[in-house]
Amino acid sequence: MTPNKEDYIKAIYEHGGENDVVTNKSLVKALSVSAASVTEMNGRLLKEGLLTHTPYQGVRLTPKGLQIAHKLIRKHRLWEVFLSEKLGYDWNEVHADADLLEHASSDALIERLDLFLGEPQYDPHGGVIPNKDGTTEKLDHTPLVELKTGTHFIIKEVNDQQEFLEYLLHKNVQLGNEYVLKEIEPYEGPLTLQSTEGLETLISHKAAFKILVKIVS
Amino acid sequence: MTPNKEDYIKAIYEHGGENDVVTNKSLVKALSVSAASVTEMNGRLLKEGLLTHTPYQGVRLTPKGLQIAHKLIRKHRLWEVFLSEKLGYDWNEVHADADLLEHASSDALIERLDLFLGEPQYDPHGGVIPNKDGTTEKLDHTPLVELKTGTHFIIKEVNDQQEFLEYLLHKNVQLGNEYVLKEIEPYEGPLTLQSTEGLETLISHKAAFKILVKIVS
DNA sequence: TACAATTTTTAGCTTACCCTAAAAATATTT
DNA sequence: AAATATTTTTAGGGTAAGCTAAAAATTGTA
């Protein structure tokens, strides 16, 4: 499927476009389009005042762009809750369908869906659902990769890419589980986690960026 | 919003494209596009083998096109049930949102939604929901306009255009209500219905095409 | 500092939808 | 049957997305 404006905005947001400049290159990868297409779309979104652009540097969302991003994330995550809780999807299946539905949801529909679902705060991967007014509660979760050995923590939020969730499933990593970080291999080697039952799991350095945790001690 | 292929197919189906040839003119009206656009889209759908075309006559769905139409109607109507039963929409509010959602629903999603809703047979306006395999139960409902005075009947299905449903609401006509057709004004004048409680309502000739009933006696 | 590599931008073309205006075909009325 | 009206088609353009290939700018390295 060819991405549209909304997908670009969301991708920029997800790559840190709220606070930092996001490079074309990362958008090329995220959206699977050519570099030329990204340049062109940047131009369009710039003209609409949704982002600022520093040539050869990248783009950053304006408040207006940010609001659209928040709204999209809200829609996406509420649909994820619906798919998971009401239709019985596994947490690694919800992403693709939510991605379609989010673009086809009127604001009124989303507010009713929110009520129907009981105004949930988190999606199935622990992501915070932005409020109706576009504000998002900031959680002080830490990327697993930043922890020191010996730290006890609880898994709070994970990236929602299908393949990544399958990886975690395979590793038996779930939201809410508690672990100790036993060891960190140098040179971006894997991290060894030990669950409270004593089981050990290896998590790659790259994956450790996508797992957010709450430090227990 | 600009209609896409799917909207054309659905519109052709809804104008009788299963059995009759549908004119460009009626599609122009239904989709609010120019005549040139209809001609052009006909060409595209023809090339894909979804319809047959008789120049200056109109188009008709092929089995392949028909299957797509059935699938779309299934998606549309299941979403209507969801919006009405789960999200508390009134029956005259469901159409627009269902129209968006139907294009953003994977087949897998729809089957899960169907189960979640309890495999409903009818949408909120009494429309039959096509089966998974694309077949549709044929109901022998009669358009109100074809009845003779004195006939007793029950309202079974109505057209789902927002404005029409508002008209019916205004007239206090609801699915399941029983009436007698008291009088038919000549020259396409209104029809007088009398409810079982004795209340009389006037229904326009044009509206009487869009109300399907089951004859009681 | 200069050359090489990478990244971004520009140029030019494609597709799927849209449109208006004019030409062609069909249908209706006189 | 001819003239008029309606409908459909063709011709020529437009916009929003995409692409490749080449040029320009920046960044990294020797």
The tokens for A169 are 């499933």
Nucleotide nearest B36 (Cα, C1'): D9
Å separating the CA of residue B36 from the C1' of nucleotide D11: 11
Asked if residue B4 lies in contact with residue B16, where contact means CB atoms within 8 angstroms, the answer is no
Asked if residue B76 lies in contact with residue B98, where contact means CB atoms within 8 angstroms, the answer is yes
**Residue A217 scores a pLDDT above 90:** no
For A8-17, what is each residue's pLDDT tens digit? 999 999 998 8
> A107 to chain B: nearest residue by CA?
B97
Confidence of residue B171 (pLDDT cuts 50, 70, 90): confident
What's the sign of the alpha-carbon dihedral B85, B91, B95, B97?
negative
Stretch B20-25: mean pLDDT, rounded?
A: 93
In the prediction, which pLDDT does A1 show?
A: 65
In the prediction, which pLDDT does A169 show?
A: 82
Question: What is the average pLDDT score of chain A?
Answer: 89
Strand locations in B51-137, DSSP E? 51-54, 58-61
- Whole-model pTM: value is 0.81
- Shortest Cα distance, chain B CAs vs residue A104, angstroms: 5
In the prediction, which pLDDT does B159 show?
A: 83
Question: What is the average pLDDT score of chain B?
Answer: 90
Q: Report which of residues B11 and B185 the model is more confident about.
A: B11
For A119-131, what is each residue's pLDDT tens digit? 998 898 878 899 9
Q: Which residues contact A89 (CB under 8 A, 6 or more apart)?
A: A83, A97, B112
In the prediction, which pLDDT does B102 show?
A: 95
Question: Using CA atoms, how far apart are residues B205 and A150, in angstroms rounded to an integer?
Answer: 80
Q: Which of B7, B81, B87 to mutate to test the interface with A (most CBs of A within 10 A)?
A: B87
Among residues B105, B29, B117, the alpha carbon closest in space to that of B72 is found at: B105
Give burial (CB, 10 Å; 0-12/13-18/19+) of A53.
middle
In the prediction, which pLDDT does B32 show?
A: 95
In the prediction, which pLDDT does A198 show?
A: 83
The tokens for A50 are 């949704």
Q: Which of B87, B101, B115 sits opposite A116 (nearest CB)?
A: B87
Q: Which residues contact B183 (CB under 8 A, 6 or more apart)?
A: B149, B191, B192
Q: In this complex, do B101 and A101 lie within 8 Å of one another by their Cβ atoms?
A: yes
**Residue B137 scores a pLDDT above 80:** no
Å separating the CA of residue B110 from the C1' of nucleotide C18: 31
Å separating the CA of residue B39 from the C1' of nucleotide D9: 7
Residues 139-178/A with CB < 7 A to strand D: none
Question: Using CA atoms, how far apart are residues B166 and B170, in angstroms rounded to an integer?
Answer: 6
Proximity of residue B41 CB to strand C below 7 A: yes
What's the sign of the alpha-carbon dihedral A34, A36, A42, A47?
negative
For A164-188, what is each residue's pLDDT tens digit? 778 888 888 888 888 999 888 887 7
Q: In this complex, do A88 and B113 lie within 8 Å of one another by their Cβ atoms?
A: no
Stretch A86-101: mean pLDDT, rounded?
A: 91
Confidence of residue B89 (pLDDT cuts 50, 70, 90): very high
- Shortest Cα distance, chain B CAs vs residue A77, angstroms: 16
Residue A139: left (phi > 0), alpha (psi -120 to 50), or beta? beta
In the prediction, which pLDDT does A176 show?
A: 82
Confidence of residue A7 (pLDDT cuts 50, 70, 90): very high
Nucleotide nearest B38 (Cα, C1'): D8
